[in-house]
Amino acid sequence: MRVTMIGTGYVGLVSGACFADFGHTVTCVDKDESKIARLQKGEIPIFEPGLDELVKDNVEQGRLFFTTDPKQAIRDADAVFIAVGTPSRRGDGHADLSYVYAAAEEIAGLMNGYTVVVTKSTVPVGTGDEVEAIIKKTRPDAEFAVVSNPEFLREGAAIGDFKRPDRVVVGGANDERAKHIMTELYRPLFLNETPIIFTERRTSELIKYAGNGFLAMKITFINEIADLCEEVGANVQEVAKGIGLDNRIGRKFLNAGPGYGGSCFPKDTLALMKTARDYKAPIELIETTVRVNTARKQKMAQKIIAALDGNVAGKTIAVLGLTFKPNTDDMRDAPALDIVPTLQAEGAKIRAFDPEGMTEAKHMLKDVQFASGAYDCVQNADAVVIITEWDQFRALDLDRMKDALKTPIVVDLRNIYSPPEMKAKGFKYFSVGRV
């Protein structure tokens, strides 16, 4: 099959490379000339484990191409995927669909013969209807179908998620030709008996938001339980294990911490909340989740301040981890973006290290000293704070770290160390939901 991917951001690049690895001919299109130039030279603009080799292999095999010119790519395509950004719109929290609609107009003007137009971007309910209307208005004679195919990729594990997904959702493939094309695109997954759900387009669009909303609630729930655990002397990790072994609940997304961030949960919960309000069917659980998660990050900053006896003025705090999760360079809505400025406002000096996120962090955090490594970061600091649970932070030489610190205070917002071990090593240790 001939596939065109409009947008070479996280979703577009990973999806395009994986479709190429399935054996399809894929052309990734982007208006950013510098990004395309880098990709054509084999430089990957994002950090995602395994993506550089996947792109390299498929380019060498002649299945994956990059261009700023969409004309030939769209004319030749059996399926054109819209994988552009849908950030939260300033002022009201709705998803900004301007890039989606611009892509639809461009596709309409260049289609040649029957084409399946697929929304891969996360979009609110009814967006597919609008994309279809735009194409019909631009090209009344066009033969096409608009299909929703939401992505379910976790940053840091995206290639595995694409190739071995829990499910694939396809909405709006009522047209037999469209269903055939979508089936062919995902043939390797059909052969592996991956559940593939064909549903109505609006249902498909809502599945993505409902899924992310539920996971965000799950994270927020265990964070609130963690607060209760601290008050009553319980252990949140054991509580999470005890409830997670119930297969009605499941063990994933029950790790207490500083709140969710990233490219999906914050904007998707806001968009779901706004959509529900627009349709006069408010989802109060999601509204509460958004409010509690926002407050969570400030609460973690106050936890750090309390660990330093309520005063951080003039003190140097070493921050390990800045990205919203490990195995990514993504800083979007990372808890560090709230925690660090709050500490600075109280007079703290921040020294930070992140294995992959410092390039992005330098654009988003002011007056931070960036270290070359974990031990350089903690040298002569008054305390160390672990915000992101990178693997290299899980096995630090504790004796070396203690010797490097001015005072042996550790605030572990990801619970990656054992309280008894840390206390035995002589640290004043604070974690989340454990005493």
User: At which of 199, 229, 253 does a domain end?
Assistant: 199
264 part of the active site: yes
User: At which of 150, 174, 199 does a domain end?
Assistant: 199
How confident is residue 407, by pLDDT bands cut at 50, 70 and 90?
A: very high
pLDDT at 189: 94
**Across-strand partners of 384?**
318, 410
Statement to judge: residues 181 and 223 lie in one domain: no
84: left (phi over 0), alpha (psi -120 to 50) or beta: beta
Instruction: Using the predicted structure, report yes or no on whether residue 134 has a pLDDT greater than 90.
Output: yes
Average pLDDT, the chain: 96
Instruction: Using the predicted structure, report yes or no on whether residue 92 has a pLDDT greater than 80.
Output: no
Instruction: Using the predicted structure, report yes or no on whether residue 93 has a pLDDT greater than 80.
Output: no
Give the CATH number of the domain where residue 317 resides. 3.40.50.720
Could you give the C-alpha distances from 398 to 315, 417, 425, in angstroms and in order?
21, 10, 7
Does 141 fall in a domain? yes
Statement to judge: residues 158 and 247 lie in one domain: no
Statement to judge: residues 187 and 227 lie in one domain: no
pLDDT in tens, 291-323: 999 999 999 999 999 999 999 999 999 999 999
Neighbours of 390 (CB within 10 A): 23
Residue 181 domain boundaries: 2-199
**Close Cβ partners of 280 (under 8 Å, ≥ 6 residues apart):** none
Statement to judge: residues 218 and 156 lie in one domain: no
pLDDT at 347: 98
Does 209 fall in a domain? no
Contact 300, 259 (CB under 8 A): yes
Name the amino acid, one letter, at 421. E
* % of the chain residues with pLDDT over 70: 100
Task: Say how many domains are in the chain.
Answer: 2
How confident is residue 355, by pLDDT bands cut at 50, 70 and 90?
A: very high
Statement to judge: residues 122 and 83 lie in one domain: yes
Prediction pTM value: 0.93
Mean pLDDT within 337-351: 98
pLDDT at 360: 95
**Across-strand partners of 196?**
168
pLDDT at 176: 93
Statement to judge: residues 92 and 121 lie in one domain: yes
Instruction: Using the predicted structure, report yes or no on whether residue 89 has a pLDDT greater than 90.
Output: no
Burial group, residue 399, by CB count within 10 angstroms (0-12, 13-18, 19+): exposed
Statement to judge: residues 219 and 79 lie in one domain: no
pLDDT at 263: 86
Q: Can you say whether the dihedral through the CA atoms of 330, 332, 335, 340 is positive or negative?
A: positive
Instruction: Using the predicted structure, report yes or no on whether residue 91 has a pLDDT greater than 80.
Output: no
Does 435 fall in a domain? no
Could you tell me the two tokens for 356?
């992959």
pLDDT at 216: 98
pLDDT in tens, 154-169: 999 999 999 999 999 9
pLDDT in tens, 14-50: 999 999 999 999 999 999 999 999 999 999 999 999 9
Statement to judge: residues 186 and 241 lie in one domain: no
Does 119 fall in a domain? yes
pLDDT in tens, 319-342: 999 999 999 999 999 999 999 999
How confident is residue 190, by pLDDT bands cut at 50, 70 and 90?
A: confident
Query: CA neighbours within 13 Å on the CB side: how many for 169?
Result: 23
How confident is residue 346, by pLDDT bands cut at 50, 70 and 90?
A: very high
Instruction: Using the predicted structure, report yes or no on whether residue 195 has a pLDDT greater than 80.
Output: yes
Statement to judge: residues 338 and 426 lie in one domain: yes
pLDDT at 396: 96
